[in-house]
Structure 1
């Protein structure tokens, strides 16, 4: 079942349940899907990789908004964003734990021969591709920095 079909099913369920947060979030995802499908060169179709990137982008936007709203003391707006983030994360693959991420990155560092912080670019290039969808880019970057600094 494609992401679009899953979203439509969830949207129907949210309408029946009168779940305002789910409706708001699912409509945002649906709008993002339509934008991707109508983008130049998409030919009305999007693949799983594009769907994953789009969902990660939406989740990152919510996380950034939560940080900003928390700093400004706007708990009401931060809570709305948290609700939306939880719904978006239902459609994303399970994220790696910190320990799993560390093990994967150590293996990648051995594979590319990275030893110093100057080798971070090599590691990030490979890690970003291999761990796409499994870990947040910010978490990957911070973990690589820690491992190379040791």
Structure 2
């Protein structure tokens, strides 16, 4: 409730297009509160994925296939990043927006996913970094 993770390394991954658990009412405010609570000692990394929503099972449905990318792909990346962090001390990438590319095409017959659609979580996000200051979460477009 107070967003105090007591210095525990944590990763949050959420799709920007999540209509079930809206990002403005879940991950973003939690990230902002954590930054107020723990400040520079926080070990929270927040990855916001564009064109991703809550139900990957719907990606085979016509219309979903052309507009959305699988969020589970990033959940697996996050788990591997955390494993590497805990096992080898590899730093977790900073909070960031991951700009994906929808497949497009014809609803029900979208082209296959490729690396173009699903860029990796960046070690250095540059202009895609998510930051917080004074309780406000700053998001790149």
The reply to whether TM is greater than 0.5 is no
TM-score, normalised relative to structure 1: 0.27
Larger helix percent: 1
Higher relative contact order (CA 8 A, sep 6+): 2
Larger strand percent: 2
Q: Considering only CA atoms, is the larger Rg found in Structure 1 or Structure 2? A: 1
